[in-house]
């Protein structure tokens, strides 16, 4: 811009406008180096929590901690109880498993099966149980396999089948059960199609009564039970046969605990002693087993310092058969259970009598002066 134009511009800026008599004031620029005054900070008012809220919060925390501790204690108690129950089940399962193995070794597969099935019910994960149970079921299946019917031969029995049938009828009528079974088997081997229904009927009757005969008269309980089990596959047993089957099974089950668990032996043979004391297994009657089990269990209780219960079992045995040794055992247990008490003696006791205390009238030690006037005329 030329100097001339610059001067004209300055004059135009400073030239007052029409009607404006005041000069234009130019404000000085504020320096950037001057400090800026900060506005005073506002203080925020903090509200204090109310007292009742603090107390309520504390109470709630206490309740929560107490509930949590109680829940933990309750859960711990439940776990302890479950552990104890599990231990008891395991102990019972181990005992029954042992009984099952013993019965299996002795060839009593039905009894072994009963013990194993009980273990399966209360403790299905018992070690080795599945294998033993399978093994015993295989053995039972083998025993129950029907025997193959012999093929008809060209040379039948020397006797005529009519003769065999008549003989079997006669033997059934005369209650020769074993002989009737033998004759009927010979008849079947000669001609299994001969009068099948009648032969089967005679065979059923002969086997039924033969089973009872073996249980009651011969002490052959296992064989009698086997006969009953065969018959049950063809027809239901009558009530009397069922009872004989039950007592035989009860006897064998009780005997399976012999020398292993005397309390169980007592439990089983106590029932048999009341129902059929003369039931026999070839070695002892039910009454004899009950008697010896009472003594053995009493001895066991004495070893456990349970003299009162031991005395009860000894007493039951004494009521059956008394012996000197048994009487001595009972007396010992009874005296420990009922110790003697001190009996007052008849000697007179020396009575201590109190001597009566002689009552004395208290003497007033105060000197009493005679104030009665002297009437004798003496004196001054």
| CA 28 vs CA 22, 84, 333: distances in Å | 18, 99, 127
- pLDDT tens readout for residues 27-36: 444 444 444 4
The CATH architecture to which 70-143 belongs is: Alpha Horseshoe (1.25)
Q: Is 97 exposed, middle or buried (0-12, 13-18, 19+ CB in 10 A)?
A: buried
- 112 near 104, Cβ under 8 Å? yes
Helices (H) and strands (E) in the chain, counts: 13, 0
- pLDDT tens readout for residues 298-353: 999 999 999 999 999 999 999 999 999 999 999 999 999 998 876 666 555 555 45
DSSP 82-140: HHHHHHHHHHHHHHHHHHHHHHHHTT-HHHHHHHHHHHHHH-TT-TTHHHHHHHHHHHH
- pLDDT tens readout for residues 123-175: 877 888 766 766 766 677 556 544 444 444 445 444 688 999 999 999 999 99
The CATH architecture to which 159-255 belongs is: Alpha Horseshoe (1.25)
Is it true that 159-255 and 257-339 share their CATH fold?
yes
Does the structural domain 257-339 have CATH classification 1.25.40? yes
Q: What is the pLDDT of residue 19?
A: 44
- 194 near 161, Cβ under 8 Å? yes
Domain ranges of the chain: 70-143, 159-255, 257-339
Which residues lie below 8 Å from residue 216, measured CB to CB, with a gap of 6+? 244, 279
- pLDDT tens readout for residues 34-44: 444 544 544 44
């Amino acid at each position: 811009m030329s100097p001339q134009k610059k001067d004209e511009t300055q004059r135009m800026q400073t030239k007052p406008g029409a009607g404006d008599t005041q000069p234009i004031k130019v404000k000085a620029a504020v320096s950037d180096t001057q400090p800026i005054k900060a506005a005073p900070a506002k203080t925020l008012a903090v509200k204090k929590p109310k007292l009742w809220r603090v107390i309520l919060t504390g109470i709630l925390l206490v309740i929560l901690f107490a509930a949590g501790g109680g829940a933990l204690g309750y859960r711990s108690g439940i776990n302890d109880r479950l552990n104890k129950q599990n231990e008891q089940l395991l102990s019972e399962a181990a005992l029954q498993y042992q009984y099952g193995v013993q019965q299996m070794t002795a060839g009593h597969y039905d009894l072994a099966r009963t013990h194993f099935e009980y273990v399966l019910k209360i403790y299905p994960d018992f070690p080795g149980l599945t294998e033993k149970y399978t093994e015993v079921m295989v053995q039972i299946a083998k025993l129950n396999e029907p025997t193959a019917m012999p093929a008809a031969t060209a040379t039948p029995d020397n006797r005529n089948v009519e003769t065999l049938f008549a003989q079997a009828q006669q033997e059934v009528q005369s209650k020769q059960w074993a002989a009737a079974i033998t004759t009927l088997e010979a008849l079947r081997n000669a001609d299994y199609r001969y009068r099948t229904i009648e032969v089967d009927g005679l065979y059923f009757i002969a086997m039924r009564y033969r089973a009872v005969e073996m249980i009651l008269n011969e002490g052959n309980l296992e064989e009698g039970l086997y006969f009953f089990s065969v018959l049950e596959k063809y027809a239901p047993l009558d009530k009397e046969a069922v009872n004989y089957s039950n007592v035989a099974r009860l006897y064998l089950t009780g005997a399976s605990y012999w020398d292993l668990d005397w309390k169980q032996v007592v439990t089983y043979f106590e029932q048999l002693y009341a129902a059929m004391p003369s039931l026999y297994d070839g070695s002892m009657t039910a009454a004899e087993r009950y008697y010896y089990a009472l003594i053995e269990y009493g001895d066991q209780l004495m070893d456990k310092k349970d003299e009162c219960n031991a005395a009860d079992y000894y007493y039951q045995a004494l009521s059956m058969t008394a012996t000197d040794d048994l009487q001595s055992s009972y007396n010992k247990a009874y005296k420990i259970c009922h110790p003697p008490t001190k009996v007052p003696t008849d000697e007179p006791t020396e009575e201590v009598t109190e001597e009566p205390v002689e009552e004395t009238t208290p003497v007033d030690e105060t000197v009493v002066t005679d104030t009665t006037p002297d009437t004798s005329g003496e004196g001054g």
